[in-house]
């Protein structure tokens, strides 16, 4: 597995180990490897840009789960997204074929399909109706299309597309929704992006983990599966969080023009001083759209199910409370 020490990756690696699978985890450093606490997980040091380390890790594997990606909002190196997300994926697939691996599961993102059009939930068969909002979406979509060309008699390629994932696990840019929840209940989050009515799809991390396992076991070669949860607006999201947490903090709408202006200032500072921006103009433009998704294909084909939003929030809050002592 690549990306085994990321937010979803850690949860998935642990679950697979608990199920009795032998997991070969590709790690870049010993520090990251320390996150893998199960002694049955075999650590291989390397990187997806290094085919030799990929070959060493894949030897004797029946399947590969490729989760590693550059998923940040910005990079000072313009080509970094392309190198990691596109070439890195091609390296994994080429090595998998070389090592006679029979099945590769690729973790993409629901963002590659773009926003909803005419309020109809996004599905896997739809074509993207608007331009990419950022390099992450662009490069993941290109990687997805290229990966499908590897699908054949000697190698089966399946792709899953999680939506906005949250829940217990490593706090990182990939777990931004949990960070938002954590900040809200501590009284540090007071923002409603735009008018608060932009819809997104939120899914509990354990559901996404099981979605990966189901896709690996039951997914059809060459198919793509959206792994989502509940479609709600920011207003509805925080109303649910207030009800579950019992905490009511005032939220202020941050108008789109002001968000765009702030993001341009952040991007300028990033280019001049190298300070990573919290958000970029491309990401701000996403708030003009709804991002409701449908997981019906995964429901029907894989037996995938998702946790109701309030229950998922309760579990997340329990974990946050435990982590904070």
Write down the pLDDT at residue 325: 62
At 216 the three-state DSSP class reads helix
d(Cα 205, Cα 169) in Å, to the nearest integer?
8
Q: Are 214 and 304 in contact (CB under 8 A)?
A: yes
Give residue limits of the domains in the chain: 7-323
φ, ψ for residue 183 (rounded to 5)?
Answer: -70, -35
pLDDT of residue 275: 87
Question: What class has domain 7-323?
Answer: alpha beta
Buried/exposed code over 120-144 (b: 16+ C-beta within 10 A; e: otherwise): ebbebeeeeeeebbbbbbbbbbbbb
pLDDT at res. 67: 98
User: What per-residue confidence (pLDDT) applies to 219?
Assistant: 98
Query: CA–CA separation, 42 vs 16, rounded Å?
Result: 12
Do residues 194 and 302 touch, judged by C-beta distance below 8 A? no
The pTM of this model reads 0.95
Helix 88-98 and helix 51-58, axial crossing angle in degrees, nearest 10:
40
pLDDT at position 229: 98
- Name residue 103's beta-bridge partners: 63, 156
- Residues of the chain scoring pLDDT < 50: none
């Amino acid at each position: 597995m690549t990306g085994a020490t990321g937010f979803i990756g850690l949860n998935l690696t642990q679950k697979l180990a608990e199920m009795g699978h032998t997991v070969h985890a590709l790690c870049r450093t010993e520090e990251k490897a320390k996150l893998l606490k199960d002694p049955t997980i075999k650590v291989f040091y390397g990187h997806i840009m290094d085919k030799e380390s990929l070959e060493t890790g894949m030897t004797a594997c029946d399947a590969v789960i490729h989760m590693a990606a550059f998923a940040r909002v910005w990079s000072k190196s313009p080509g970094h997204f392309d190198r990691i997300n596109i070439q890195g994926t091609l390296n994994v697939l080429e090595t998998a074929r070389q090592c006679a691996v029979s099945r590769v599961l690729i973790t993409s993102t629901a963002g590659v399909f773009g926003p909803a059009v005419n309020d109809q939930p996004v599905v896997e068969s739809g074509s993207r109706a608007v331009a990419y909002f950022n390099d992450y979406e662009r490069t993941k979509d290109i990687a997805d299309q290229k990966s499908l060309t590897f699908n054949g008699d000697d190698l089966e390629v399946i792709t899953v597309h999680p939506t906005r994932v949250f829940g217990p696990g490593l706090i990182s840019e990939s777990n931004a929704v949990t960070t938002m929840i954590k900040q809200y209940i501590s009284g540090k989050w007071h923002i409603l992006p735009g008018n608060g009515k932009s819809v997104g799809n939120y899914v509990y991390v354990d559901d996404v983990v099981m979605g990966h396992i189901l896709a690996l076991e039951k997914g059809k070669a060459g198919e793509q599966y959206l792994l989502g949860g509940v479609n709600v607006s920011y207003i509805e999201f925080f109303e649910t969080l207030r009800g579950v947490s019992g905490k009511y903090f005032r939220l202020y709408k941050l108008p789109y023009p002001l968000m765009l202006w702030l993001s341009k200032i952040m991007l300028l500072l990033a280019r001049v001083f190298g300070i990573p921006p919290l958000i970029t103009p491309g990401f701000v433009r996403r708030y003009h759209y709804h991002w409701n998704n449908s997981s019906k294909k995964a429901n029907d084909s894989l037996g995938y199910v998702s946790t109701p939003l309030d229950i998922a929030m309760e579990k997340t809050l329990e974990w946050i409370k435990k982590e904070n002592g």
